[in-house]
Amino acid sequence: MPSAGYTREIPQRYRLEAAKCASCGRIYYPPRLVCAACGGREFDTVKLPDTGKVVTYTVIRVGPGDFAEEVPYALGIVEMEGGVRLMAQLVDVPLDGIKTGMPVRLEFRKIYEEGKAGIICYGHKAVPA
């Protein structure tokens, strides 16, 4: 069975849903219960844009558990239009072709298979825009 944390985050993963503080307008992804900027507790659900740019990245050469056979692969911090930053695997580009500032688009794809039953867990990966 997929972990409880993964299951709780399904709406955000499927629809790129974030929380926008009703008091100050700060946006959080994944959503949170209390605004770190103003302490507000009321949030509106907003959909993030699916485009952004690579802020920084690293190449993983020794992967953990379920990802050990995927190496080498790149993980990057992507700043979405609007300022929200998230981490995503950078795919469909050679590792030596990744650059900071590179425009990317998020696509919903298979992340890994969990457990003996092979339950497929999905999420977003960043591809060149």
Mean pLDDT to the nearest integer, 6-35: 83
Task: Clarify whether residues 41 and 60 are in a common domain.
Answer: no
**129, 78 contact by CB (below 8 A):** no
- pTM of the shown model: 0.81
User: At residue 2, does pLDDT exceed 80?
Assistant: no
CA separation, residue 4 to residues 9, 13, 33, 50, 69 (Å): 9, 14, 18, 25, 24
Edge-to-edge strands, sheet with 43-47: 27-28, 17-21, 43-47
Task: Clarify whether residues 61 and 38 are in a common domain.
Answer: no
Confidence of residue 81 (pLDDT cuts 50, 70, 90): confident
Range of the domain at 31: 1-48
Task: Clarify whether residues 33 and 57 are in a common domain.
Answer: no
| Cα maximum dimension of the chain | 46
Burial 32-49 (b: 16+ CB within 10 A, else e): eeebeeeeeeebeebebe
Task: Clarify whether residues 82 and 98 are in a common domain.
Answer: yes
Task: Clarify whether residues 60 and 115 are in a common domain.
Answer: yes
What does pLDDT average to over the chain?
88
**53, 101 contact by CB (below 8 A):** yes
Task: Clarify whether residues 70 and 42 are in a common domain.
Answer: no
Gap between the Cα atoms of 13 and 69, Å rounded: 24
CATH number, residue 76 = 2.40.50.840
More confident residue, 90 or 17: 90
pLDDT tens-digit readout, 52-74: 999 999 999 999 887 888 899 99
